């Protein structure tokens, strides 16, 4: 149902499967027939987990029991007994402009060695920070996806939704240098063995670059670079609707985690441009 009707991504399907199998094991294979008391005990066992993890597990189970009810496999839905961790959504981790500058300085030093893998690293980072792609979207790019002279590419993201992604001149140049080292018969832009580069390996490479830039590696990941892309665009004057399109968010509510940046920009704008700023008594 999640794949056919909801259009869930492969990563979402994998996460749901992990959560459902884990919950089923905890209930000795009786998940489908679990009662409220069973789910209360299950939820109590999650007390040591992060709030976001508990929320994800609860969401997976609520979806599961909703499915059973919709299909007539159960007459009730006991999922109300699952925990609903409160509190607002945490602000995304991001990087300052100075952090990004340090990372690109480290990247320039790598590229100066003219080693093929340095060109690969440059292409990966330019696309991550320059376009805001998800890690899974980046590593699975076909070899010909980025075309010289084309300022954008078409990506199929979560739920099979297509979107246009801008590609900067810097990114185009970096990709072209790397593509010269990619076998002509390769299916992927970032091949690795018979498949493409894995998300885990990309994660490791980004952290290695952070270390070379003198940035604590726990502060940097491919997703943090995606957040930096979004945050810095907002700081530069982009609006949330544009950002929603660029990031491929189906719902503007997802993009609204960045409103703290937009709000700060608006306050600064009012303080700098409002006609009463320089009026007599404005310092009172």
| Residue where the block lists tokens 């900067």 | 168
Determine which one of 57, 196, 207, 249 is catalytic. Answer: 249
226 counts as catalytic: yes
pTM score of the predicted model: 0.63
Known catalytic residue at 134: yes
The dihedrals phi and psi of 154, each to the nearest 5 degrees, come to -100, 120
The domain locations on the chain are 10-81, 97-267
Question: What would the pLDDT profile of 137-166 be if each residue is shown by its tens digit?
Answer: 899 999 988 887 778 888 776 666 777 788
Q: In whole numbers, what is the pLDDT of the chain averaged over residues? A: 83
Active-site residue, 163 included: no
Catalytic residue among 57, 102, 120, 134: 134
DSSP 83-119: ----SPPPPPP---HHHHHHHHHHHHHHHTTT-HHHH
- The pLDDT, as a whole number, for residue 112 is 95
User: Please, which residues bridge with residue 165 across strands?
Assistant: 153
Q: Which of 158, 170, 177, 212 is catalytic?
A: 158
Per-range mean pLDDT, top range of 4-13, 192-201, 262-271: 192-201
CATH architecture classification, 10-81: Orthogonal Bundle (1.10)
Homologous superfamily of domain range 97-267 = Intergrase catalytic core (1.10.443.10)
Instruction: Output the pLDDT for position 98.
Output: 93
> In terms of pLDDT, which residue wins out, 119 or 156?
119
Q: Is the pLDDT of residue 131 over 70?
A: yes
- Give dist(CA 218, CA 210) in Å, integer: 9
Say whether pLDDT at 103 is over 90.
yes
State the pLDDT at residue 206: 95
Task: Name every residue whose Cβ is closer than 8 Å to that of residue 234 and which is 6 or more positions away in sequence.
Answer: 240, 243, 258, 261, 262, 265
Active site annotation includes 158: yes
* Catalytic-role residue among 57, 207, 227, 258: 258
Q: pLDDT by residue (tens digit) across 220-264?
A: 999 889 888 888 877 777 767 777 767 766 665 666 666 655 555
Q: Which of 170, 177, 223, 265 does the annotation list as catalytic?
A: 223
CA distance 42 to 81: 10
Is 249 among the catalytic positions?
A: yes
Name the catalytic one among 57, 226, 227, 232: 226
Backbone φ and ψ of 196, nearest 5°: -100, 170
What integer pLDDT is reported at residue 160 of this predicted model?
66
DSSP string, 250-280: SSHHHHGGGHHHHHHHHHHHHHHH-TTTTST
Average pLDDT over residues 20-25: 93
Q: What percent of the chain has pLDDT over 90?
A: 40
Output the pLDDT for position 284: 43
């Amino acid at each position: 149902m999640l794949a056919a009707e909801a259009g869930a991504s492969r990563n979402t399907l994998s996460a749901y499967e992990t959560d459902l199998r884990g919950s089923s094991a905890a209930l000795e294979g009786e998940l489908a027939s679990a009662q409220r008391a069973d789910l209360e005990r299950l939820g109590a066992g999650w007390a040591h987990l992060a709030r976001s993890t508990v929320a994800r597990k609860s969401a997976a189970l609520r979806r599961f029991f909703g499915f059973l009810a919709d299909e007539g496999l159960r007459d009730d839905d006991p999922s109300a007994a699952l925990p609903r961790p409160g509190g607002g959504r945490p602000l995304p981790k991001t990087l300052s402009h100075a952090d990004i500058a340090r990372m690109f300085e480290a990247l320039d030093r790598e590229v100066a060695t003219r080693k093929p893998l340095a060109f690969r690293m440059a292409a990966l980072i330019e696309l991550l920070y320059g376009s805001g792609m998800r890690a899974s979207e980046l590593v699975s790019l076909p070899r010909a996806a980025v075309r010289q002279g084309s300022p954008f590419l078409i990506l199929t993201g979560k739920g099979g939704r297509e979107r246009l992604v801008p590609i900067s001149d810097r990114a185009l140049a970096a990709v072209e240098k790397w593509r010269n080292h990619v076998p002509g018969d390769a299916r992927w832009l970032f091949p690795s063995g018979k498949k493409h580069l894995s998300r885990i390996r990309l994660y490791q490479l980004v952290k290695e670059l952070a270390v070379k830039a003198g940035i604590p590696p726990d502060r940097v990941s491919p997703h943090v670079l995606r957040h930096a892309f979004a945050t810095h665009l907002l700081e530069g004057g982009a609006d949330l609707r544009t950002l929603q399109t660029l990031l491929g968010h189906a719902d503007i509510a997802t993009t609204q985690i960045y409103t703290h940046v937009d709000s700060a920009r608006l306050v600064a704008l009012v303080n700098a441009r409002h006609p009463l700023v320089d009026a007599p008594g404005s310092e009172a």
